[in-house]
Amino acid sequence: MKDINAAYDQIQKDRKAGKTSYGNSSYGGSYGGYNQNYGGSSYNSYGTGYSANSQFSDVRRLIQQNRIAEADEILDGVPEYNRNAEWYFLKGSIYYRRGWLGEASRCFQRAYQMEPGNREYAAAYQRMAYQQQYGTSPGRTTQTQCYACPCDCCDCCTAMMCMDCLGDCFCGNGC
């Protein structure tokens, strides 16, 4: 934790190189915290599969480099009829980074509704839905409320979020 920025860069480098234990798993994204915000390069761990299909790989790259204003400009330039689920997801990621959590959750919800099968969008949406209900992020153990954690719901997405949190612990990020 001494030098978070350096650690962050290192982790991102490792991820790109696919070195992390869950690097090639489709559950790769971490929603852990500040340093791994939505749409960041953690999604590179979705492997070539996802990035190659991405219509907005340039926007993803900008977000990952923290060039939020530029990424937002490109997204805003996309005409209304071309705004697909990924557009909403990335717009949500930008809002999230700016701290506009209300708009972020609306965008993630829209992305999820447009493409319910997409794990990336579902995880982002469900994480925020959890926060809205409990005032804490899924999988946190430092809080008393957290003892009533997601163990009662065993659907795949909750499990996925738990795995994300575990992933965080292993790479020494938020814990």
Partner 1 sequence: MFGYIKPFRPELKIREAEDYKAVYCGLCKELGRSYGLFARMTLSYDFAFMAMFFMSLNSEICPSFEKCSCIAHPFKKQCRCLENRAVSLAAKAAMILTYYKIKDDLSDKGFLGRIRAVLLLPFASSARKKALSSGEEAKKIDLCAAKMIEEQRAVEAKKSSLSDEAAEPTAKFLSEIISLGGNEENKRILERFGYLLGRYIYLCDALDDLEDDIKKGNYNPFIFGGEKAVSEAKAVLFMTTAELSDDLELLELDKYKEIVENTICLGLTAEVERIISKKGGEQNG
- Which residues bind to partner 1, rule: CB under 8 A? 1-5, 32-35, 95, 99-103, 105, 128, 131-137, 140, 142-145, 174-175
Closer by beta carbon to partner 1, 114 or else 129: 129
When the beta carbons of 123 and 128 are compared against partner 1, the nearer one is 128
Identity of the residue, 103 or 115, whose beta carbon is nearer to partner 1 in the bound complex: 103
CB 152, min distance to partner 1, A: 19
The tokens describing 30, both together, are 């971490």
Q: How far is the CB of 2 from partner 1 (least distance, A)?
A: 7
Q: Which is nearer to partner 1, 50 or 123 (CB)?
A: 123
